[in-house]
Amino acid sequence: MIYDYDLFVIGAGPGGLAAAKQAAHYGARVAIAEANHLGGTCANMGCIPKKLMVYAADFGHLAEASKGYGWSGEQPHFSWTKFVKARDQAIERFRQSHERSLTKLGIRLIRDRAQFIDAHTLEVGEQKITADHILIAVGGHASKPDIPGIEHAVTSKEMFHLPQLPKKIAIIGGGYIGVEFASALHAFGTDVFLMSHEHCILNGFDPAISTAIHKGFTDRGIQVACNTTAEEIIQTDRGLQLILSGDSADITVDLVLCAIGRTPNLENLGLEQVGVEIDQRAIAVDAHSRTSQPNIFAVGDCTDRKQLTPVALSEGRAFADTTFGDYAWTVDYDSVPSAICCRPEAASVGVTEPEAQTQLGDAVRCYQSEFQPLFHSLSGQNEKALIKLIVNGEDDRVIGIHIVGDHAAEILQGFALAMKQGITKQELDRAIGIHPSSGEELFSIR
């Protein structure tokens, strides 16, 4: 049978765009459907605008630190309105760049929703389109807990469109999304109350990272409450009152942010029409991103794998290389680096200490260094950095790296690759670092 396209992609987020472009490079006839903005959550309501927000928040911190270096003058004033305008202009440029690249590669962009009719046929707006291969890359959306009054809370999506910054905010969720917003908003002058139902914030990261970020937040004046959940939100004349569990007293705030995780966007896709298997509210896929239907694939946050932008990108490229380039490969999920864009910043790759102990028992060796970065020797700010290595004592391989401090993510990038290639602790010990730098501490932990 002759199809309209070799590949039809549903969703123009990081994974969908990467797959479409890679397949087009191989000469495939490609179309992509996107009812919203190009770039998906990451570019429009996630990591890109959030990182710009973090950068904006840094300037007040830097202005204060500059006094120790001999600078003086009035404290700068931050305008949320000016920042939002500049941010939105930058994001629009990113969208236009994506559209130009699709046009250049001959990829047809259809700005509408797509729904399955059968395994090879989609209804896109008022059109019926057929494709040999179909890739689902529809991403996810922020979840909310089922508690009374939750309709008064916003999610990360609405946070980027606030007309003004709140004076006081409560954040439900101690994962990386909640932590990142807590950090930036506090730097803008918002009174922040961050709660986690877990025994710590950033549960799932190495305990050294969780502890260091918690302490850093407390030192800055961010209120952190663990083993705490919101049982009800009540709208009052004074604001939004949160009825809290545990030992925390009820609080009243201007805004409540719900940051408890994300749910795949699977509604109205017609997956039941084609028998695509769903597991735990996500699309079940194999190592090559294939669903239960042989010609239908899925990548990114709508699947049951890691929900990270670089992972979606790699999954999209791996799918295209394998399907259209005769170059079969799969994504390695065991060595995916990640970062928490808060202050202090954190980055991590590989196993945590508890995970390593479960896997290796007494063979685990941990090395940790806590130090003051050179920058803060004059900043007047009591900032500490932390570097932790997890090592398999049986063969000396480094199996986990965890960093807290300025530029943690940039420092980790190269070391993540080295770890994936099997670098040992002895090889790190014999390497020569750049001095003076925080990264050189990785070569001298004993």
**Chain centroid to CA 259: how far?**
12
Residue 446, pLDDT score: 87
| CA gap 46, 410 in Å, rounded | 19
CA atoms within 13 A on the CB side of 372: 10
In a domain, 11, yes or no: yes
Q: Are residues 165 and 240 in the same domain?
A: yes
CA separation, residue 374 to residues 371, 384, 386, 436 (Å): 9, 10, 13, 8
List of residues 6+ apart from 79 with CB closer than 8 A: none
Among the listed residues 13, 3, 1, 5, the one whose alpha carbon sits nearest the alpha carbon of residue 106:
5
In this structure, the answer to whether residues 34 and 137 fall within a common structural domain is yes
Is there a single domain that holds both residue 135 and residue 166? Answer: no
Q: Is 8 helix (H, G, I), strand (E, B) or coil?
A: strand
Neighbour-count burial of 57, counting CB atoms closer than 10 A to its CB (0-12 exposed, 13-18 middle, 19+ buried): buried
Q: Does one domain contain both 388 and 244?
A: no
Last residue of a domain, one of 313, 333, 353: 333
Pick the closest to residue 422 from 350, 317, 345 (CA basis). 350
Residue 101 lies in a domain: yes
183 and 253 co-located in one domain: yes
Q: What local confidence, expressed as pLDDT, does residue 312 receive?
A: 97
In three-state secondary structure terms, 93 is helix
How far is it, in rounded angstroms, from Cα 115 to Cα 437? 53
Q: What DSSP state is assigned to residue 290?
A: B
CATH code of the domain covering residue 206:
3.50.50.60
- Cα–Cα distances in angstroms (integers) from residue 2 to residues 22, 28, 129, in the given order: 22, 13, 12
Which residue type, as a one-letter code, is found at position 12?
A: A
Q: What is the pTM of this model?
A: 0.95
**Residue whose structure tokens are 């939100």:** 233
Percent of the chain with pLDDT over 70: 100
In the block, residue with structure tokens 């123009």: 12
The percent of the chain in helix, strand and coil, each rounded to the nearest 5, is 35, 25, 35
At residue 326, the pLDDT reads 84
Residue 302 neighbours by CB under 8 Å, 6+ apart: 11, 136, 137, 138, 139, 140, 264, 265, 266, 282, 283
d(CA 369, CA 443): 11
Tell me how far the alpha carbon of residue 97 is from its chain's centroid: 22
254 and 272 share a domain? Answer: no
The Cα 19–Cα 17 span in angstroms is 5
Dihedral sign for Cα 145, 149, 151, 155, please.
negative
| Residue 248 CB neighbours (<10 A) | 17
Range of the domain at 406: 344-443
Residue-level pLDDT, tens digit, the chain, 446 residues: 899 999 999 999 999 999 999 999 999 999 999 999 999 999 999 999 999 999 999 999 999 999 999 999 887 899 999 999 999 999 999 999 999 999 999 999 999 999 999 999 999 999 999 999 999 999 999 999 999 999 999 999 999 999 999 999 999 999 999 999 999 999 999 999 999 999 999 999 999 999 999 999 999 999 999 999 999 999 999 999 999 997 789 999 999 999 999 999 999 999 999 999 999 899 999 999 999 999 999 999 999 899 999 999 999 999 999 999 989 999 999 889 999 999 999 999 999 999 999 999 999 999 999 999 999 999 988 889 999 999 999 999 999 999 999 999 999 999 999 999 999 999 999 999 999 999 999 999 98
Residue 338 lies in a domain: no
Same domain, 22 and 110: yes
Neighbours of 63 (CB within 10 A): 14
| Assigned domain for 348 exists | yes
The single residue listed with the structure tokens 């904006």 is 56
Report the catalytic residues.
435
User: Does residue 350 form part of some domain?
Assistant: yes
Q: Is residue 339 part of a domain?
A: no
CATH of the domain at 427: 3.30.390.30
Domain shared by 379 and 431, yes or no: yes
Q: 19: which 2 tokens?
A: 């797959």
Regarding whether 311 and 183 lie in a shared domain, the answer is no
Tell me, yes or no, whether 99 and 214 share the same domain: no
SS3 annotation, 355-388? HHHHHHHHHEEEEEEEECCCCHHHHCCCCCEEEE
Same domain? 28 vs 130: yes
**CA dist., res. 204 & res. 359, Å (int):** 16
Of the residues 231, 260, 289, which one is the last residue of a structural domain? 260
Position 349 in a domain = yes
**Total tally of structural domains belonging to the chain:** 3
The conformation of residue 249, written as its DSSP 8-state character, comes to P
Given 282, 303, 333, which residue is the final one in a domain? 333
Residues 200 and 63 in one domain: no
